[in-house]
Structure 1
Amino acid sequence: MAAWKQILVAAVILLAAAVAWAGFFPGAPEILARWGMDWAVASTPKTEPGDGAPRQNAAVVQAMVVAAPVTSATINDRLQAIGTGRAAATVAVNPYAAGRLIEFQVTSGAHIEAGQVIARLDSDTEEIALERAKAQRDDARAKVERIRALRSSNTATAVQLTDAELELRNAELSVHDAQLALDRRSVTSPISGVVGILPIEAGNYVTSQTAIATIDDRSSILVDFWVPERFAAAVQIGSALTATPLADPRNVFEGTVTAIDNRIDDKSRTLWVQATIANPADSLRAGMSFQIGMKFSGDTYPAVSPLAVQWGSDGAFVWTVDNGKARRVPVRIIQRNTQTVLVDAPIASGDMVVTEGVQAVRDGGDVMIARGAAQPVDAPAGS
């Protein structure tokens, strides 16, 4: 076949396809109108009823559709996160000075009070230094008393008395210094809490860098967890939450947010939040993992059936039915759920949207909602 004949046949086929598309595709008139080709719709031949076919007025033909009411759903109203607990206060106890550890006065797991002695170091040298300082103090005090007696008879000068009093003051400071050195041979707890496993035994030589015990204050537990940045503005100091230990889901503890970091982590896009949980029964331990739950007011959006969402060249839309007329409403999809789609659109709860029969619907056209159509059940939106 000659080339010009092939081109002619192809052109005829394309023309026939275009005419068929303009005449039968539901959205063709709108698309052609946007392209400025309204004349193509006007020139499309209308199908006339043949012999024996019933004649109907096209203006009164109504499309039969199935519609469902718009509902509403709330998102971003719940937060679930995994957190890690730690003691309200944790102290690793180190001695002030080096020496031989001669005894522990506590055992692992014991509850102690602040200031209670944990262990003792050898203190012979410090005891001798204290006795020497006391002797020097007593001698300085006796000297001051002698000079005061001589001063009353003008035998001693005022300068001698001043020097003696200064010597006494220095001797008293030496006693205080020696007493402090002796007291520091007894290692005390700076906080109240529970003693952990003791890492060394009595008899070991320790320095100021040696941790001889770890003490946890478990009167309350701090839980560190991270929340997505979309909740950053919603989380506030004092916000209530629930904490469920993953090891024992039967117990649910209540707590409050006590600290919020001042920045979003740029790698994980999360915010560090800290909560406090009371632990009066001492059933919680540092290092436990918790399921954190929080509730917020959230954002409410219209929810429609997934069958109602249609797509055109300009994006998603739905067909609404108002007084028997169809109206094309553009929508922006917010979230897809199992039974509903949350959209941002100028529609309200109770509005009817077409779910079946959309092929026969035209913007502004007459529609009839089929009776007895099943209505979708509201489905909760995820957070």
Structure 2
Amino acid sequence: MTENKTKLDPKKVFADLATFVASLKTDTGRIEVFMRDAKMIGDAITAQMQADDHVFKDYLGELPSTASCVDEISLLLPVHFEVFLPIRLPTALAPSFDEQQRTVQLRQPDIDHPFFFGNMLNASCMNLLLKQELQQTIASIGRLKSYDLRYRAHHCRGVPFMHQILAVDRRSNGRRCIRFDFVLAVLFEGPVLPLPPYYDAPINYTWLAYGKIEVGPTRHPADWGVIVPKWQTRSLLDAKRLNGVLLLTHRLLSTQQCQNYAAAGPLKLGLATAVQEIKRLRYKQTPTPVLVILTMQKLVLKDMDDETTNVKQLMSIVRLIQQLYNGHVAPHGEAGQAGNMQHLCSTPEAIY
């Protein structure tokens, strides 16, 4: 059977980026409706968790920032979108940093709490508990106005890594949905719990600890990845450009029938990884085509869930990367060879 894919003209594919960014202004009304509904869903989830006295009942206030609205190949995002869902723990923790692994272990002696295994804050415990409580909460809510709610998690080695709440609008015959895709992370204030000097953090900063999906032979189960999010530096203009990068990448992958990887969750994580690895704040000067290609490369390199792996789609993305490089990046000399674009990057802690 012949695949019904939209023919790609790499020489023209980036020409409409300005239109994508400009459309964020004209789509203001749609974004407001989407964000209003996202907040309604987030509030309902929090209320149900509080009614059931769940452990995470007070930790999901930032859910709307992780939302997206999908309508066939159309994608809406908050201008300042997030892929990490940050929570603040009400207890002081003692950190132990590993410079070589770029990880941290977080201890609290004499504590009895489901987030901990022994006296160590444990990402597996937290993510498994969050999965359980979200499953129960979504099952209890079921329907909310015109939305049918569902929950699933992307797993790595049997442990949830990225959580997804899906709200399908029944009025659209399944075409439109609001989805919340996020990676659980613990937020710390730099002045309160400072990072070691080798992270070269700014003066006023926050940092995140997140459960890494890569586990090597020297990795301890209590290890957390460390990241100082460069999102903190986003001006409105930078935020809109990154938003446009995601919209364009989503549309490219959708028209090439790479639906498994066109979802907002993998896209946001791919872009976050790419931006985080670019030296200092040079992502602001990095050409948009390079950001698109780097994001796609991350989708291929960091395919995070065996349940959704699609080799055929992955190979389509590889071919798409090469087409985009040959059609735009190489003729303009913007980043050298596509395989060598990582010369921009030097941030080891960004390896999720």
Structure with greater proportional strand content: 1
Same fold (TM over 0.5): no
Higher relative contact order (Cα pairs below 8 Å, separated by 6+ residues): 1
Q: Tell me the TM-score range normalised by the shorter chain.
A: under 0.3
Structure with greater proportional helix content: 2
